[in-house]
Amino acid sequence: MSQKTNQVEVSLLGKTHQFACTEGQEFALLDAAALLNSTVEEMKQRSSIRTEHNALLMAALHLCHDLQAQKTAQEGLITKLSSHLASSEE
């Protein structure tokens, strides 16, 4: 069964783009675009990066780094919880 998609207009770096989006995920896509835009602006202000392309790459790397850190922290919590549950069952 295929999911219904909608076209969503997103502004990135001052330019409008159309993206297909799974129905019900439109606001998540708009929020993601807003986060990307704000991170690009932050990268431009915090460093000597001035081109939009390089700022976009740095923002993407920054967001990926944050995601990896969150995944690592989550895995650590799951391991800790599993260990705690196993020891309490004994």
pLDDT of residue 69: 96
Q: What is the C-alpha separation between 13 and 33, in angstroms, rounded?
A: 9
Along the 90 residues of the chain, how does pLDDT read in single tens digits? 568 999 999 998 889 999 999 999 999 999 999 999 999 988 888 888 878 889 899 999 999 999 999 999 999 999 999 988 888 876
* Three-state SS annotation for 45-71: HHCCCCCHHHHHHHHHHHHHHHHHHHH
List of residues 6+ apart from 16 with CB closer than 8 A: 9, 10
Q: What was the pLDDT predicted at 72? A: 95
Question: Where do the domains of the chain lie?
Answer: 5-89
